[in-house]
Amino acid sequence: MKFFIDTANLKDIQEANELGILDGVTTNPSLMAKEGITGKDNIEKHYQKICEIVQGDVSAEVISTDYEGIVKEGTHLASLAENIVVKVPMIKDGVKAIRHFTDNGIATNCTLVFSSAQAILAAKAGATYVSPFIGRIDDTNWDGMELIKEMAEIYAIQGFETQILAASIRSSRHIVEAAKNGADVCTCPLSAILGMLKHPLTDNGLAQFLADYKKGNG
C-alpha cells in the first residue's frame, strides 16, 4: 500500500518525506485555506513547492464545476509540474473531464466518492485514483471500511486499474483497516502516520533495555 500525506503544510510534508515512507501528497481547497494560501498565483506556487519536496504524485484540486472549466483548469494545473495529478470532484461534468484527461495522458484523482456506484463510474472514465472519504462516512454512522472492501472486490472482479485511495483518514487504526480491506493508497494527516509508531510495550521495553544497559555499563 502506498502512503500519501493529506495536507498542504510544507513542514509536515517535509517531516513525512524524511521518514522515507512517503509516496505522494493530496491537497484540497480546505487544506490550502487552512495554511492561509489564497489567490491563484500563490496556490500554484505552493503546488510547485510541494512538488519540489516530493517526487511522487501530488493531487491538485480544480475549483471549476463545469466541463470546459475543469478541462482548462486541470490542463493548466498538470503543466505546473510533472508529478501533478488533477483532482476532480465526482460530478457529471467531472466524470466527462476525467475521460478527457485520461485520453490526453493526464493523471486524475476522482474525489468526494461515497458509494461503489460512483467508484465504478470513476473507474470507467479511467481515473488514476478514486478517493472514498472514510472518516466522513463513519461520521454518518455508516462504516467507511465496508465501502473500501466492496470497491476492492468490484475492481478486482472487473479488472479495473483505478487505484483505491482511502481518504478522510482520521487515525492509525483507519490505516490498518484500509490496508486490510484492499486500499491501494492511504492518504493521512501526519498525526495518523506518526500514531502508527506508538505502542506502550515498545516504550516500556526500550526503557527497560536502556536501564539494564546503564546498570552494566555505568
Q: Given the C-alpha cell 500519501, which residue does it identify?
A: 4
Those residues whose C-beta lies under 8 Å from the C-beta of residue 41, and which sit 6 or more positions away, are none
Nearer to ligand G3P, 98 or 167 (CB): 167
Q: What backbone torsions phi and psi does residue 129 show, to the nearest 5 degrees? A: -130, 155
Q: How far is the CB of 4 from ligand G3P (least distance, A)?
A: 9
Q: How far is the CB of 159 from ligand G3P (least distance, A)?
A: 26
What the block records as the C-alpha cell of 17 is 518525506
Q: Given the C-alpha cell 476492492, which residue does it identify?
A: 152
Annotated catalytic residue within 45, 87, 180, 215: 87
Q: What is the DSSP letter of 162?
A: P
Q: How far is the CB of 187 from ligand G3P (least distance, A)?
A: 5
The whole-angstrom separation of Cα 77 and Cα 64 is: 12
Nearer to ligand G3P, 6 or 177 (CB): 6
Nearer to ligand G3P, 114 or 133 (CB): 133
Nearer to ligand G3P, 46 or 136 (CB): 136
Q: What backbone torsions phi and psi does residue 94 show, to the nearest 5 degrees? A: -65, -45
Where along the sequence are the contacts to ligand G3P (CB under 6 A)? 6, 26, 28, 31, 133, 135-136, 167-168, 187
The whole-angstrom separation of Cα 23 and Cα 16 is: 10
Burial degree of 197 (CB within 10 A; 0-12, 13-18, 19+): exposed
Tell me, yes or no, if 87 is annotated catalytic.
yes
Q: How far is the CB of 167 from ligand G3P (least distance, A)?
A: 3
- As annotated, the active-site residues are 87
